[in-house]
Amino acid sequence: MLTHEERCARMRERHHRNMLDPAYREKRRTAAHFNYARRMAQPSYRQKYAEKHKVNRQRRLQDESVKTRYRAYNVRQHERLKREVLQHYSPELKCVRCGFTDLRALTIDHINGHGTEHKRKLGISRSGSHFYRWLRTNNYPQGFQVLCMNCQFIKRVENDEDFRRGRDKSAP
């Protein structure tokens, strides 16, 4: 009589041998797809599934504790992403002009200006997480630095950049 381990080993061996056979694989794939397609073709199944999950989604969105947890999670994710991006451009996490270190006021600045134009070309409508995510996705391109908000506004005035109208005066 075979032990449990021996039976399992034989079954694994048989399954592995069968999976090498293209006809067997196709038969399994077709059967699985057929069963799924048959279920989804039944209007009653689709409707029940949609209604069940719609109710669950609505219930979750109305629950204040879920909303609070979701917001807290988003804040933590944003802070983690911001810290990662800022650390790449300034390992000491400080403003390159004045040395300010409070993470809440540190931002990414385009060294050559024209940040609004650049973000518009990228299709990024907002700053913050959207832009940080773009920087990380594009392997932290050159041309950016870490500035505190005070130094960034001073730089905008010094370079005569019109940030209120959404475009730079000095842009070509």
Joined tokens for residue 78: 């944003």
Joined tokens for residue 168: 């730079």
C-alpha dist (Å) from residue 83 to 14, 36, 88: 51, 44, 9
What's the confidence (pLDDT) of residue 139?
A: 92
31-45 confidence digits (pLDDT tens): 766 676 677 667 777
What's the confidence (pLDDT) of residue 83?
A: 95
C-alpha dist (Å) from residue 49 to 39, 45, 58, 83: 11, 6, 14, 41
**Domain spans of the chain, in order of start:** 64-158
148-167 confidence digits (pLDDT tens): 999 999 998 888 876 555 54
What's the confidence (pLDDT) of residue 164?
A: 57
Counting as low any pLDDT under 50, the low residues of the chain are 167-168, 172
